[in-house]
Amino acid sequence: MARNKNATGVSMRSNNESSVLHSHEDMAVEQLSDEILAAQVARGESHALETLYDRYASTVLGISVKIMGDQAAAEDVLQETFWRVWQSAASFQSQRGSFTGWLFRIARNLAIDAYRRRKIRPRPITDVDDSDSKIDQTPDPNIDVAEQSQLLLNHKQVLSALATLPRVQRQVIEMAYYYGMTRQEIAEATGEALGTIHTRARLALQKLRAELQRDESKD
Amino acid sequence: MDLRQIEELLPFYALDALNDEEKELVEAYLKEHPEARQQIEEMGSAVSALPYAVPPVDPSPHSKEALMKRIAADQRAASTTRNQPSRPRGLRFENLFSAFSLGAAVIAILWVIVLNGQVTRLRNEISALNNALVAQSNELEQINTKLSQATPSAVITVSLKGTDVQPQAQGQLIADPSSQSAVLVIVGLTPLEAGKTYQVWLIQGETPVSAGLLKVDANGQGVLVVSSETPIGSFDALGISVEPEQGSLQPTGDIVVLSAL
């Protein structure tokens, strides 16, 4: 998977790949880019979905656990996320964004909806350490160790970039992205003026981007 | 919302944390100001990293197994749908018979489902009608009781019943036989299609005389003050028939109520 993505998980492949799908059919499915696999899923090829699942299930589950704070419920969101991918892969347009962006948006929205229905309070990022997330479970033996290592590396890089943000800026990002809170809700929850929340969000995203780019150039 | 306020929404647009109305405002703004797309893309690249900020969690094998089973079932269903219309023409008799049997079974099941639905719907309608009828009968009883207490003894009430055409119809004619008017209360009549009306007839011997057009509400209930040039007591019967909406000189449609006075 490292071949497909930079440290932030953003696909680096050309969007023209979909036009050469058929020339890739003989390639090992594990070597195909996300976008090509998504096109195969749209054609009803379940092995392509399985490959995407193996690549991203742990990240999707991580997002869901983060938002919902409950692994059993998060596993339901995981299944539903890939079921949605199976059903609506044809609507994915690679020219409008990466597959992972699309996939994680589905997962996040499903998890936030499920969380709102269950009203379970999630925990902030800083309360969750890596060992804590490995809840008693039997890992899937089919998970690709190399891909999982890359995901873990991405995780460490993004986490260290986030750590450079002032706490109040990081808080706004977390509330908006992971908890699906509106800017008004964030202002109310933090007791800050709406204008302050706007400024913090903008500065946080600018700084986060700069940090990630710096990490990337070091690599 | 002015432009500065919309620009303040951009980070939240990138974070996908706006409500629908705000999102529409930003999208309209981006159409007008394509240069702002650059900002969105830059902020979006930071947002796209956020999923990796949470530690990956290994899913249990059961999750994948359940998902793939669901997908396999979906593929089988899709495959069945695709294959059905394109069967080869040279099917063996047994295959043809199997296909026919399967088709018949599916049709039978669908038919049973449809019938069940209709039966349930009709039962509900009958139950609702019965309830309405009971309620209206009770109301009539109460009206009669009150009238018998409030009116002079000369006033009589005559029960009216529906014919075989509308056996559920029933009512009362409240009248002083020596007067030339009476009150007709009727329930349980079927509301009529446009262009039709009920017409009330007072019948003397075999001669019907129109006593007015009767309108009923959606529940089949109607009240009419019946007028006549001769005393009500001079008539032998009362009837109600279905007529064109302007009424008729003589009954021409179905007689739905007919009772002796």
* Spans of all domains in chain B: 3-53, 95-150, 154-260
More confident residue, A61 or A158: A61
Residue B75 at interface with chain A, using a CB cutoff of 8 Å: yes
| Binary contact (B67, A82; C-beta < 8 A) | yes
B38 touches chain A (CB under 8 A): no
Asked if A140 reaches chain B (Cβ–Cβ under 8 Å), the answer is yes
Residue B95's pLDDT band, with cuts at 50, 70 and 90, is low
pLDDT exceeds cutoff 50 at A133:
no
Q: Do A180 and B17 touch (CB under 8 A)?
A: yes
Q: Of 2.60.120.200, 2.60.40.10, 3.30.70.1290, 2.60.40.200, which CATH number belongs to B154-260?
A: 2.60.40.200
- Asked whether the beta carbons of residue A104 and residue B17 sit closer than 8 angstroms, the reply is no
**Distance in Å, alpha carbon of B169 to nearest chain A alpha carbon:** 52
Q: Output the CA–CA distances (angstroms, integers) from residue B138 to B135, B142, B220, in the order listed.
A: 5, 6, 15
In this model, does residue A18 exceed pLDDT 50? no
Quick one: pLDDT at residue A219?
A: 61
Query: ipTM score here?
Result: 0.73
**Structure confidence by residue, pLDDT tens digits, B178-219:** 888 888 899 889 999 888 999 999 998 888 989 889 988 888
Give pLDDT, residue A201.
95
Residue scoring higher pLDDT (A151 or B252): B252
Range in A11-15, A173-177, B85-89, B237-241 with the lowest mean pLDDT? A11-15
Q: Among B19, B52, B62, select the one facing A155 at the smallest CB separation.
A: B52
Tokens of A64: 């869901």
A162 contact residues in B (CB cutoff 8 A): 53
- The per-residue pLDDT for range A189-214, each reduced to its tens digit, is 999 999 999 999 999 999 999 998 88
What pLDDT was estimated at residue B82?
63
Residues 29-68 (A) with a CB less than 8 A from some CB of B: 44, 46, 49-50, 53, 57-59, 61-63, 65-66
Task: Look at residue A145 in the predicted model and tell me its pLDDT.
Answer: 64
User: Quick check: B165 pLDDT over 70?
Assistant: yes
Is the CB of A10 less than 8 angstroms away from the CB of B64? no
Least CB–CB distance from A104: residue in B51, B62, B66:
B51
Q: Is the model's pLDDT at B128 over the cut of 90?
A: no
Mutate to test the interface with B, among A205, A209, A213, A214 (most CBs of B within 10 A): A205
The residue of chain B nearest to residue A209, with distances taken between CA atoms, is B46
Domain at A1-132: CATH code = 1.10.1740.10
Average the pLDDT over each of A17-21, A60-64, A185-189 and give the range with the smallest value. A17-21
Predicted confidence (pLDDT) at residue A12 exceeds the cutoff of 50: no
Indicate the pTM of the whole model. Answer: 0.53
pLDDT tens-digit series, residues B43-87: 998 998 898 888 889 999 999 999 999 999 988 887 776 666 544
Would you call B57 and A125 a contact, using CB atoms and an 8 Å cutoff? no
